[in-house]
Structure 1
Amino acid sequence: MSIVRTALPLVLLTGVLTGCAGLQKTDWPTCAAVGGVTGAGLGAIESTSWAGGGALFVGTMAAAYCWVHGDGDEDGDGVPDRRDKCPGTPKGVQVDADGCPPPAPAPMVEEVVVVQEETIVIRDVHFEFDKATLTAADKEVLSTIATRLKQETSTAQLRVTGHTDSVGSDAYNQRLSDKRANSVVQYLVESGVPRASFVSVEGAGESQPVADNSTADGRAMNRRTEIKINR
C-alpha cells in the first residue's frame, strides 16, 4: 500500500502537467483548478488533513507549469505560439508556416498599347457634282469625324489627302482632289478641330486607286478623303 501511495501522486501529477502543456497560457486558471482538485485527491490518499495543502501545492505547480510551458495558439491561425512570428493575426486570414500572412501579390500593371498611326477613310463625302462644295449630308458625316478628332491629344498630327476616280484628266483630278481635301479640313476646323493639328493637306488625284476604276462601285471606292493620325 505504501508503494501505491508513493507512486500514485507522481503518476497523477505527471498527468496534470502533461495535460497543461498543451493549453494556452491564458488557460492557467483551468490548470490551477484541475491541479487543485488533483492535489486534494493526492492529499486525501495520505490523510484528510493533507487535502488542503495538497490542493494548494499541486494547483500552484500546475498553473506555473502551464504558464511557462504552455504552447497554445492564441490567434487561432493553426501555428503554435512558440513558432508564430506574427501573433494576433485576424481570424480567417491565411498564414504561412511562420504564422504570417503571405505578402500581397504585386499589382498587375496593364500595359496600354497606343496605336501610333491610324487612318480614317471617309467615303461618304461626295461633294456636289464636279465641285469641292460640301452638301448638307457631307457636313453631317464630317461633324461625326470632328467629334472623334477632338478627342485626340494635342500632340496628334493630322495629314489629310483627297483622292478621285479616273474620270477626267490627271491634272483636273489633281486640282479637284486638292480642293476637296481643303474643304474637308476647313469644315473640321470650323467644327473645333485645332488647325495646328493639320500638318499637311494635299490631293493625290487619281494616282492612288484602291479599287477598279472601270466599274461604278470601284470608282465610288476611289473617291475618298483620308485622314492619317500620327500620335
Structure 2
Amino acid sequence: MSMIRTALPLILVTSVLTGCAGLQKTDWPLCAAGGALSGAAIGAFQSASVAAGFGAAVGVMAGAYCWVHGDGDDDGDGVLNSKDKCPNTPKGTSVDATGCPIVTPAPEPVAAPVVLPKEEIITIRDVHFEFNKATLTPGDKQQLDMVATKLKTEAPNVQLHVSGHTDSVGSDAYNQKLSQKRAQSVTDYLVSAGIPRASFVSVEGDGEARPVADNKTADGRALNRRVEIKINR
C-alpha cells in the first residue's frame, strides 16, 4: 500500500504534465486548475492537509509547464507558433496555412483604348499633280497606297469627303473643273486599292478658293495643287 501511495503521485503528475503539453500557452489557467484537482485527489490518500498542499503544488507546476511548453500564437495571425514560418506578422495581415502573408498578384496592366477623333483631315501634300493635269504619277500612287492602308482599317465605318484644289493660274471656271478631276482621280485610285466606293459620300472640287500657300511663288502654287480627304467617324 505504501508503494502505491508513493508511485501514484508521480504517475498522476506525469499524466497531468503530458496533457498540458498539447495545450496552448494561454491555457495555463486550465492546466493549473487541472493540476490542483489532480494533486488534491492524490493528496487525499494521505491526509486533508497533504491534499491541500499537494494540490497547490501540482497546480502551480502544471500551470508553469503549460506556459513554458504550450504552443501559442504570439503574432495573433491564427497560426500556431510551431507551424508559423513567418513569425511577427503585422496585425491584420492575411496569412496562409504556414503563417506567411498571402501575396496577391498585381493586376495585368490594361492598355488604354485608342480614341480616334470624330473628324480628321488627311492632306495629301505629296500628290501635287503636274501643272494643268489631273493625272497621277507613279510617286503619287505610292503615296496614295499608304493612305489606302490607313483607310482600310476603318472603312466602311467612316464617311469620306474628298476635295480637290488648284493654284491661281487660269480662270476660276477652269480651275473648278480641274480640281474636280483631281478629286475624282484620287477617289478612283483609292477605290481600286480596296476602299469601298460607298465610303465616299462626297467628291468635289474647290478650285483655287482655298489656298494653303502663296500663289505668287512656284513652291506655293505647287502646295496649293493638292487633294484633301476628310474622315467623319
Shorter chain as denominator, the TM-score bin is 0.5 to 0.7
Is the alpha carbon distance of 1:87 and 1:221 closer, same or farther for their aligned partners in structure 2, counting shifts above 3 Å? Answer: closer
User: C-alpha deviations, 1:182-228, integer Å up to 9, x for none?
Assistant: 11000001101121111111000001111111111211121110011
Paired residues of 2:183 and 2:203 also in contact (CA < 8 A): yes
Residue of structure 1 equivalent to 2:136: 134
Aligned counterpart for 2:220 among listed residues 214, 218, 221: 218
User: C-alpha deviations, 1:97-137, integer Å up to 9, x for none?
Assistant: xxxx9xx99x9894653311111111211334422221211
Gaps (5+ residues) in structure 1? 1-23, 37-51, 95-100
Aligned counterpart for 2:90 among listed residues 78, 85, 104: 78
Residue of structure 1 equivalent to 2:201: 199
Alignment pair present for 1:91 and 2:90: no
Say which is worse superposed, 56-65 or 142-151, in terms of deviation.
56-65
Give the RMSD, CA atoms, in angstroms: 4.3
Identical-pair percentage: 56
Structure 2 distance, partners of 1:226, 1:118, is 10
Paired residues of 1:28 and 1:67 also in contact (CA < 8 A): no
Paired residues of 2:128 and 2:223 also in contact (CA < 8 A): no
Residue of structure 2 equivalent to 1:162: 164
Structure 2 distance, partners of 1:152, 1:200, is 17
Structure 1 distance, partners of 2:138, 2:153, is 24
Is the alpha carbon distance of 1:108 and 1:134 closer, same or farther for their aligned partners in structure 2, counting shifts above 3 Å? Answer: closer
Tell me how many residue pairs correspond in the alignment. Answer: 179
Structure 2 distance, partners of 1:86, 1:118, is 52
Structure 1 distance, partners of 2:113, 2:152, is 24
Residue of structure 2 equivalent to 1:121: 123
Residue of structure 1 equivalent to 2:3: none
Letter in 1 for 2:62: T
Paired residues of 2:155 and 2:195 also in contact (CA < 8 A): no
TM-score by length of 1: 0.61
Residue of structure 2 equivalent to 1:61: 63
Is the alpha carbon distance of 1:116 and 1:63 closer, same or farther for their aligned partners in structure 2, counting shifts above 3 Å? Answer: farther
Paired residues of 1:158 and 1:227 also in contact (CA < 8 A): yes
Paired residues of 2:164 and 2:183 also in contact (CA < 8 A): yes
TM-score by length of 2: 0.61
Structure 2 distance, partners of 1:26, 1:156, is 75
Alignment pair present for 1:25 and 2:24: yes
Q: Secondary structure at the match of 2:123?
A: strand
Structure 2 distance, partners of 1:60, 1:115, is 81
Structure 1 distance, partners of 2:154, 2:193, is 14
Residue of structure 1 equivalent to 2:17: none
Shift of 1:91: 2.2
Shift of 1:151: 1.7
Residue of structure 2 equivalent to 1:41: none
Letter in 1 for 2:209: S
Structure 2 distance, partners of 1:215, 1:172, is 20
Residue of structure 2 equivalent to 1:39: none
Structure 1 distance, partners of 2:216, 2:156, is 42
Shift of 1:93: 5.4
User: C-alpha deviations, 1:121-170, integer Å up to 9, x for none?
Assistant: 11211334422221211111111111111122532111100000000110
